[in-house]
Structure formats: C-alpha cells, structure tokens
Structure 1
Amino acid sequence: MRLWHRIGTTVVGVAALLATTAGTGQAATATPPEGPVQSTFPAALLYSSIHASASPPGANDFACKPAAAHPRPVVLVHGTVENAYDNWAELSPQLKADGYCVFALNFGDTVPGGTNPFKGLGDIPASARQLSAYVDSVLAATGASEVDIVGHSQGGMMPRYYLKNLGGASKVGSLVALAPSNYGTVFYGVLPLVAALPGGEAVTSLACAACVQQRQGSSFLNTLNAGGDTVPGVRYTVITTSYDEVVMPFTNTYLKDPGATNINLQQVCGLDFTDHLGISYDPIAQRLVRNALDPATAKAPTCRYVPPLVS
C-alpha cells in the first residue's frame, strides 16, 4: 500500500509506520553487523536506509547466557515498514547494559536479499510463525525457558497471535507493547475507504497484507480479540501516547482484559508529546519498558519535555 510509504517519507524522508509481520527474514542464528547507537528515530531510519540488515547495538549475541538477575532474554519486535535497527537503536543497548540478553529480528522482508529497509508488510499469521521460530532459536541458544517480548505497533500486537494460537504462552513471560495496534486503526479514514472500494483490500494486500489486517474491525482483529485479548500466564503491559498519528483512535492500543496494564504517557507526564513513530526513543517510555521487564528495580520516570518524532 503505497500510501503508507508516502506518509512515512513525508515525515522523515524515507518511511516507517505501524508494526511487524511476515516474510523471509534473517536467519535466526546469523548475526548481522551491528549499527551505532542512535538517539532519534529519524537518525536511525536514515542509517537503516543504507544498512537495511543492521542489528541494533547490543542485540543478537547468540553466545549470550542470561544472568540470574535477568533469566529471560528480551526479543524486540519492530513495526510495519520499519526494521529491527531503526526501531531499537537506542533501547537495545540500554537493555543490554541492564544485563539482559537482547535479540531483535528482521522479518516481513518482501524483497529478496535483505537490502530493503521497509519490512513487516506480509500476512500477520505468517509473521507470527516466523517469530515463533525465532523465539525457539533464542531459547535453544541461551538455554532459557522463556523470553520477554517488547514490541512496537504491529510488533506489539502480532505476538498476541503467537501467544494465542502457536503455543507461545508457555515460552513468554511478558509482552510489553509500545503503541500496539491491538484493535486496529482507521488511519485518517483511509483504511475504511479502501475496505469500501470494490476489490480495494485485495489489491492493497498484494503490497501490504498487514495494513489491511490492521484496519479497525478487520476480520483478522475480530478473530484475534474474540474470547478475550490476553491469555493466562503472560503479563501484558501497553504503553501508549495520546498523540498517536498511526493507531487511530489511540485508545485502540489498549487491551480490555482486566489483567492487562495500560499506561498512557501523558498521564505519567503531561510534558510528553511523543508520537507513534518516536515512542521507542522516548526516555519516559523507555523507563516504563524497563520497569515492566523488571518490576523489582522499577523507578519512576523523570518527567521532562519530550517532542514528537525525535523524542
């Protein structure tokens, strides 16, 4: 769906939007070259436009063995039209410094060769199967019995399919989701319009099946959320922003089951104006992610002005 590309390029010159999905992806045990630490999403996106297969700093050391303090490796799941590097080039090294084994996969790469930085376009169940295989490879390499998952946008929603339908609940301790598309988006009315056009969604799915599946009220999301939007045994944390320009309305990020924790950044700090694209670089959101992964060492975030996009 070319409109998604155009919106992203308008914002930062290249593109990045929703959240993660299927495709060929990288080999789970192959370690791609590591990129530098970045402090803003646009800078990370620019770097990844040239280095599409780069790993976020601190990630994908398959020789890493979890410490007793952090026995569950963290698997980072990027968003639609994003990639592992541009989504996690700042949070990944923070988690590594905290003592976690950190892993981040690229998937949904519809262009052979791994040179396309815009990943996460394919069918969401296929993406979940790829995530399942990747988690298995992380568990096998590290000797851990479970992982924790941190995801952005579709990367915060797609793992729920893995948990619910592919046996992931027994392999995951917690899912921490930044601006996830749990109940989809109307995206300025574009996705409902596409659905209303004869053959609109069929044509759009050829380029971005995940875009169609993330429409508010899509058959995929209705099925995913039927019977409850969480599964027993997994801790769920949603961190969202009122200024989300992709998941619309922003309240569609929230999980409805009573066991889930939903956190609105503006209720934590009224000076936080981060948006959908910049949320993984927001220091307040990053602190909340770290708190959710390790409640025993949780610290209150420092309230400070956070601008949109560059966070």
Structure 2
Amino acid sequence: MHKRMLGLTIAALAATAMLAGTAQAELPVIYNGTFGYAHVSSSASPPGANNFACKPSAAHPRPVILVHGTFGDMSDSWQALSPLLVNHGYCVFALNYGSYAGAGSLGIYGTGNIVASAEELSSFVNQVLAASGASQVDIVGHSQGGMMPRYYLKNLGGAAKVHTLVGLAPSNHGTTLLGLATLAGYFPGATAFLGILCPACEQQTAGSSFITALNSGGDTVAGVEYTVIESIYDEVVTPYTSAFLSGPKVTNVNLQKQCFLDLGEHLSMPYDHIADADVLTALDPAHPQKPACYPVLAVIGG
C-alpha cells in the first residue's frame, strides 16, 4: 500500500513538473511574414494572445492590445510580436475590427468606417481592463491599427485608459490611393473592396475630412506616450515621413538609422526583428533592447 502511494505521489510530482515545464516554455517567435500572412483562419488568436485569465505582473502592469491594419486580421499580423511579448511576461490581447459589407466573412478586416472601428476598440479595451484588473493598457498597432487608436484617444475617452501607443508604419497623416492599392494587392480578394466597399480607405487618403479632423489641434493628446516606428522603404504609407507624429512624449524611430541592412517595408513591419525590439523598448523604456543588425527582407521580414 505504501509503495503504491509512493508510486502515485512520484507520478503526480512528475506530471506536475512536466506541466510546469510546459507552462514556462517560451513560445516560438517566427520572423517570417510569408508564414504569418499564410494563416487561413482569421478568427484564430495569435500565439499566446487572448488569455483572459492572465493577470499583469508588477514588472509589466499593463496589458498590451495588438491592433491589425487595413485588409489584415489579428492572426496574420501578430504571429511574431504576440509570442514575443508573451515570452517577455506581458498579458497580450488582439482583436479583429472593421468588417464591412461582409468582408469579415472572407477574412478581410479593417475596411469599415474608422469611427466605428474605434468604438469596437473602445469596447475591447473595456473588456481587457475588466478581466485583467488593470487601470490602463498599452496599444501596439500596424498601419491603420497604429492610427485608428488615436481617434479613440482623442474622441472616445481613451486617453485615460491608454498609457502608451506604439505605431508600426501608421497612416497618421494619410496616404495616397496608390499606396492603398499597393497594400490591397498583397491580400487575396482585397482589391475588390477598394472604393465604396472600403470606407476606411477613403478616410485614410491624405487630406480627407477624417484625417484633417484627427490631426486638428495637434497630433497627440495629453498624458499618452507615443512611439512611431517606420521604414524609409514603406510603399503604402507615402511619404514615409507622414507616419511620424509631432508633440510632447513622442518618439519617432527610423529603422534604417539603426540598421542599414533592414530592407523591410510596410507589410514586413510586424515581422521585422528590429521593429519588434523597438516595440519592447517603447513598452519598457527602462530596459531598452539592442537588436542585432542583420538583413531584413521586404514582405518577408527577418
């Protein structure tokens, strides 16, 4: 009997050790956009994200919300950055937003009216705050996902709930129709949603009434810290300098000034190891990252 109990105890301890080892194992981080954008399930959370039981640590007290761009979704955009953040101890969340005219059923998001998308983001932030018990979140967004939260901050009370906004190639001051057409060409079926089927596309053109109103009175709102990370090779947000912000508590980062071997452009930004290291620095400035300088390829990343 004692031997049997001892055997069961040893087995239980071994199983516990195995579970603990599994829980502590780091998630794989794959800096390859062809892998990330090949994901066929737009509704699948990126690795490690949307664990609503996650409680922020003292080291990282604010959950991080990842916001995809036009024509994208939470799965194809964050196969690298989501697990990277989780491995660094963050509670990570992501959402799909901006489905319009049935595009979401095809896995194409971020096309709807940006005001409505900002309202979706507002609701999601409230869910994350309620679940985590945190008082604020940080937001990291790519393309439209780096610009749209600024509407939330300025007009929907988001400034009190967001500590830091990080934009990866954000369309902060709009872009050209050619830039948007270039972006659509990367996503199967997205070209059909240009024009009247993509209100967000018109809203993101330089000089639109939406962009003009968003930036009236200044690019930033008080109390929020901003970081913009951009590439000189961005072929979607053009000119690339239009991504940058002006104002207090703003850090504008030029990738090529850090590493001349970084050939990454708009689409590869979430899969660029240098850009992702810059995100970590923006979220935790007390522990700046020093990414190695080695080649990053257009579209693919690295």
TM-score, shorter chain, exceeding 0.5 = yes
How well do the aligned residues superpose, as a CA RMSD in angstroms?
A: 1.9
Q: Name the TM-score, length of structure 2 as normaliser.
A: 0.83
Residue from 76, 99, 107 that aligns with 2:97: 107
Matched residues in 1 for 2:157 and 2:195: separation? 27
Matched residues in 2 for 1:283 and 1:166: separation? 33
Matched, 1:233 2:223: yes
Residue from 254, 268, 287 that aligns with 1:264: 254
| Structure 1 letter corresponding to 2:116 | A
Gaps of 5+ in 2: 1-26, 182-192
CA contact (8 A) 2:101 2:197 kept: no
CA contact (8 A) 1:162 1:168 kept: yes
Identity over aligned pairs, percent? 56
Q: CA deviation at 1:303?
A: 1.2
CA contact (8 A) 2:224 2:249 kept: no
| Structure 2 letter corresponding to 1:281 | Y
Cα distance change on mapping 1:36 and 1:86 into 2, 3 Å: farther
CA contact (8 A) 2:31 2:272 kept: no
CA contact (8 A) 1:147 1:171 kept: yes
- Structure 1 counterpart of 2:212: 222
Gaps of 5+ in 1: 1-34, 192-202
- Structure 1 counterpart of 2:188: none
- Structure 2 counterpart of 1:307: 297
- Structure 1 counterpart of 2:58: 68
Matched, 1:213 2:203: yes
| Structure 2 letter corresponding to 1:254 | F
| Structure 2 letter corresponding to 1:290 | L
Aligned residue pair count: 264
Matched residues in 1 for 2:244 and 2:138: separation? 19
CA contact (8 A) 1:65 1:142 kept: yes
Matched residues in 2 for 1:233 and 1:133: separation? 21
- Structure 2 counterpart of 1:43: 35
Cα distance change on mapping 1:99 and 1:190 into 2, 3 Å: closer
Give the stretch that moved more between structures: 156-165 or 35-44. 35-44
| Structure 2 letter corresponding to 1:82 | G
Matched, 1:275 2:271: no
User: Secondary structure at 1:297's aligned position in 2?
Assistant: coil
Cα distance change on mapping 1:125 and 1:36 into 2, 3 Å: farther
Q: Name the TM-score, length of structure 1 as normaliser.
A: 0.81
Q: CA deviation at 1:188?
A: 3.2
Cα distance change on mapping 1:92 and 1:142 into 2, 3 Å: same
- Structure 1 counterpart of 2:134: 144
Matched residues in 1 for 2:139 and 2:42: separation? 22
User: Secondary structure at 2:52's aligned position in 1?
Assistant: coil
Which whole-Å deviations, capped at 9, do the CAs of 1:1-30 have from their partners, x for residues lacking one? xxxxxxxxxxxxxxxxxxxxxxxxxxxxxx
Q: CA deviation at 1:256?
A: 1.8
Give the structure with higher Rg (CA): 2
